[in-house]
Amino acid sequence: MALLSNLGRHKDFGLLVVRIGLGIMFIIHGYPKLMGGPDGWEGLGSSTKYIGFTFLPMVFGLLAALAETLGGFLILVGLAFRPACLILTINLIVAAASHLGRGEGLMGAAHPIELAVVFLGLAFVGPGKYSVDKK
């Protein structure tokens, strides 16, 4: 469609829009988990049992909360973008395994699976020129 053909010239702006949207949402989603303290971290970290990790749930919960909060910030500003994308991809795989392990099926795990695919794809594409990591 000729009407929208010029949008291809604005890929970096499109990446900025995606980064801002995902970054803000992950900060909003992760911050309460980070502030949940040891009890909250332990509950969150117990999700790792679905991938075979049954030790140190409080540590894994803290790491998951940090991944979402700090990872969201890094995505937002485009700093350490690719490592943040890969860490969030792993975090989302664990979240998907947790949903599947609790018997929620594919529909219950769909959201973390979709986001894992987005972050994995973004790890290959990069943050775009409107970022702290611009090259």
Domain ranges of the chain: 12-125
pLDDT at 135 over 70: no
| Contact (CB, 8 A) for 125 and 85 | no
DSSP state letter for 78: T
What backbone phi and psi angles, to 5 degrees, belong to 112? -65, -30
The tens digit of pLDDT for each residue in 81-109 reads 999 999 999 999 999 999 999 999 999 99
pLDDT category, 9, cuts 50, 70, 90? confident
pLDDT category, 10, cuts 50, 70, 90? confident
Burial of 58 (0-12, 13-18, 19+ CB in 10 A): middle
